[in-house]
């Protein structure tokens, strides 16, 4: 049996990853766009609303609304920009970190249960190897 064509594997992998990502997001209690903002702030640190909008590829007005909602919920706060008094930086609060950790925990918990319920030990080993390969591709 010959190895599958790289293009076919790529198409299948992209489709499967998309479906799995969408399914895992169903576990979220916070809307996806807000979780994405919290995740960026967690990974990259404090940034302006404009920088957040550029990162998420949304209009600055849309990001301002999302940041406003997150601020009302106590998940982010604003502080003065250190070099430009006209700007402010948005950063996670302790409650924001906790909410993001909870969302990630729900996602990981659902996925761990699905792996345990659906896959044999041999399949779990293959999946582990596949995850390492995907990580290697992501670093390319």
Q: What is the pLDDT along the chain (140 residues), one digit of tens a residue?
A: 567 799 999 999 999 999 999 998 888 889 989 999 999 999 999 999 999 999 999 999 999 999 999 999 999 999 999 998 899 999 999 999 999 999 999 999 999 999 999 999 999 999 999 999 999 999 98
- Tell me the Ramachandran region of residue 74: left when phi exceeds 0, alpha when psi lies from -120 to 50, beta otherwise: left
In a domain, 4, yes or no: no
The answer to whether residue 55 sits within a structural domain is yes
Q: How many domains does the chain have?
A: 1
CA distances from 97 to 15, 26, 42, 44, 132 (A): 31, 20, 7, 13, 27
Domain residues for the domain of 58 are 28-138
**Inside any domain, residue 17:** no
Structural domain includes residue 9:
no
pTM of the model: 0.79
Asked whether residue 77 is assigned to any structural domain, the reply reads: yes
């Amino acid at each position: 049996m010959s190895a599958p064509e790289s293009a076919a594997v790529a198409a299948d992998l992209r489709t499967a990853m998309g479906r799995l990502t969408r399914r895992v997001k169903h576990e979220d209690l916070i809307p996806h766009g807000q979780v994405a903002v919290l995740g960026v702030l967690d990974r990259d640190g404090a940034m302006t609303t404009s920088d957040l909008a550029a990162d998420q590829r949304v209009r600055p007005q849309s990001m301002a609304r999302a940041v406003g909602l997150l601020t009302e919920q106590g998940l982010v706060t604003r502080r003065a920009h250190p070099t430009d008094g006209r700007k402010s930086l948005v950063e996670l609060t302790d409650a924001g970190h906790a909410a993001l950790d909870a969302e990630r925990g729900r996602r990981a918990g659902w996925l761990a249960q699905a792996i345990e319920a659906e896959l044999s030990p041999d399949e779990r080993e293959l999946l582990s190897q596949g995850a390492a390969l995907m990580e290697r591709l992501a670093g390319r």
